[in-house]
Structure 1
């Protein structure tokens, strides 16, 4: 649901009734990850996707039916020899889809609206929904914030139930909300989307309730150091991939909005000084395009000692060898230098700035998902992998 938060937030503000189908689990070579969503409103308008086309028609029909009967359902689609080209995933994988109706009088509509609004604004948001369990709980929603506070109730408790911070509530089910909020907050901390099982009393005993938790976190950062021609193409590519892109260069004549109209931020400062005062985390991508020792060495000395998902530096092999020597003289170890992708990019035979940006993006993606960069033609390894940047996951 949070995968298409901006569009659904608009639907809510327009008072539309709709149903949402969310991928809650996948197996094998499935085309979309947990959190992918398709929504259908009462006029039949559809947005989003759960399978890239394989089962969209069947899921569309489920959404229409859910709007008609007001029932939350969970459906599994997979490949079989009998129906390979009918309703199923001909790619050989399986997906499980949770279909939730959101009519005008839905008890959790306000909670869903708040979650969609927050995600659409780029705020860190977790949305927990009951994917399996007692019929009266199925589809219930809980909005969880980074500080652990929450809105709504999976247990269906009202004014006698938990407050925004989860106090009070009759019976053991009040613990369900508190436990769910704590678990969802932990998943939000690492940007993870997926399912978890807890009992109705909030314990982790077998049976009970299966929760689907979607995490929506602000876009990861890409910081491009060096306002060169290659940087302009990389900024456009980074924005296309969903990054918040910053360009940093010490030369004000080059680091301008005219040269980089698509960048989110343009910083005029020495690269290492800017990196020292800005934040990075396990999703941050650092691309060093300056290939000038007076910029590269102090910058990479700082970069390789802080959290980042990818650190790459441009330059010829001779430049790399000289840079490696200087970094070792600066005190970096073999373990530090093993994190550096240099020369940056995959071997695509790139020549133009756009082709070079594509080769850099390809290496970033391969690093994120554990890809080899090898052609898929004739390959024996799985096309879709579970690997990801440390601390990241599909952010619904």
Structure 2
């Protein structure tokens, strides 16, 4: 069956004949890192409201202002927020995740290999966070496309968030 792009809203958007819908989502990248920079740049292009949360004032990401704590996100950490921790080696993982889990954020994930237990599990347990709350932290994150570089990791992560936003499973299963 053939169709004209007038019959397919996605096709209309792709051809520039219709505006893309507002995403209505917020993306918070936690910890200044090369992956965070890619997430913020690509996420803005995909319609996310983007923010960087970096608690260490000595760390920065060129071109991006950073909130130093959750209160500085000025109400943007709401039920539309997707939060990605971009460094699983930081000492602040436990306290940052504990506070994020108290927020109304819709989705919280941390980068890391599925072959190892995430350091966040112990860090949160040591802070007294109950196991059912720890289980809200997604890991691994993103689509399994063999990502190795910061841009590839950001693309895989954002593709997973887009699939979720669009109520799709991701991958090539239709």
> Which secondary structure does the structure 2 equivalent of 1:304 belong to?
helix
Within the candidate set 312, 317, 324, 2:121 is matched to 324
> What is the distance in 2 between the residues matched to 1:220 and 1:374?
21
State the partner residue of 1:236. 41
Does structure 2 conserve the Cα–Cα contact (< 8 Å) formed by 1:252 and 1:268?
Answer: no
- Kindly tell me: are residues 268 and 291 of structure 1, through their superposed partners in 2, closer, same or farther at Cα, counting changes over 3 Å? same
> What is the distance in 1 between the residues matched to 2:117 and 2:102?
19
Higher helix share: 2
Q: Which runs of 5+ in 2 are unaligned?
A: 1-6
The answer to whether 1:267 aligns with 2:66 is yes
TM-score under structure 2 length normalisation: 0.76
Does structure 2 conserve the Cα–Cα contact (< 8 Å) formed by 1:345 and 1:361?
Answer: yes
> What is the distance in 2 between the residues matched to 1:302 and 1:358?
27
State the partner residue of 1:298. 95
The answer to whether 1:248 aligns with 2:43 is no
User: Following superposition of structure 1 onto structure 2, how do residues 16-165 of structure 1 map, counting pairs within 5 Å?
Assistant: 31-32=8-9, 48-49=17-18
TM-score under structure 1 length normalisation: 0.36
State the partner residue of 1:223. 28
- Kindly tell me: are residues 333 and 371 of structure 1, through their superposed partners in 2, closer, same or farther at Cα, counting changes over 3 Å? farther
Taking only aligned residues, the RMSD between alpha carbons, in angstroms, comes to: 3.1
Q: Is the radius of gyration larger for structure 1 or structure 2?
A: 1
> Which secondary structure does the structure 1 equivalent of 2:146 belong to?
coil
The answer to whether 1:349 aligns with 2:146 is yes
Higher strand share: 1
Does structure 1 conserve the Cα–Cα contact (< 8 Å) formed by 2:143 and 2:171?
Answer: no
Which of structures 1 and 2 has the larger relative contact order (alpha carbons within 8 angstroms, sep 6+)?
A: 2
